[in-house]
Structure 1
Amino acid sequence: MIHRIVKMEFDPEKIEEFLSNFEQNKKKIREFGGCYKLELLRDQDNTNIFFTYSYWVDELSLERYRNSELFKDVWAKTKVLFNAKPMAWSTNIISSQ
């Protein structure tokens, strides 16, 4: 399983626009083939910093999503709202309870 973490920092005036876009698309992303789970997190101190934490069956599923029209549409509406370059990591669990 692949865990994808994406850190996004938004212009404070554009946070509501981001949240609206996320709300409109979260179900579609969660239902995309190979997506096991999607969470949205917010930094408790810097409230314009958000993280998506998604769980994918495998790298191929994540790549299919990243090449999909859904991703292209969501990302096009999201990236114009940033005030810093986003960061992303694909991770594997080493230890868990």
Structure 2
Amino acid sequence: MLVRIVKMSFHSKFIPEFLEMFDEKKSLVKKSAGCLLLELYQDKSNPEIFFTYSHWENESDLENYRNSELFIETWAQTKTYFNDKPQAWSVNKL
């Protein structure tokens, strides 16, 4: 299993739009082949920072999702809300 963690920082004024978009898209992402879990977290000390935490059966499932129309469209919209460069990690669950 592969765990994907993505850190994103948003302009405060766009947080409601991001949360609405995430709520609309999360069920579609969860239906992607190999997606086992998708969660969203908000930093306690800085409310502009969010993390997505997802589990994938394997790396090829994640790559297939990242090359999908759903991801490409969603990421294009999400990027317009950023106030800093996102960071991402793919890790193995031990």
Q: CA RMSD in A?
A: 0.5
Q: Which residue of 2 aligns with 1:63?
A: 63
Q: Normalising by the residue count of structure 2, what TM-score does the alignment of the two structures yield? A: 0.98
Q: How far apart, CA to CA, are the structure 1 residues paired with 2:21 and 2:86?
A: 17
Q: Normalising by the residue count of structure 1, what TM-score does the alignment of the two structures yield? A: 0.95
Deviations 1:22-70 (A, max 9, x none): 0110000011110000000000110010000000000000000000000
Q: Which residue of 1 aligns with 2:91?
A: 91
Q: Which residue of 1 aligns with 2:11?
A: 11
In structure 1, runs of 5+ residues without a counterpart are none
Q: How far apart, CA to CA, are the structure 1 residues paired with 2:86 and 2:80?
A: 11
Q: Which runs of 4+ in 1 moved over 2 A?
A: none
In the alignment of these two chains, the number of paired residues is 94
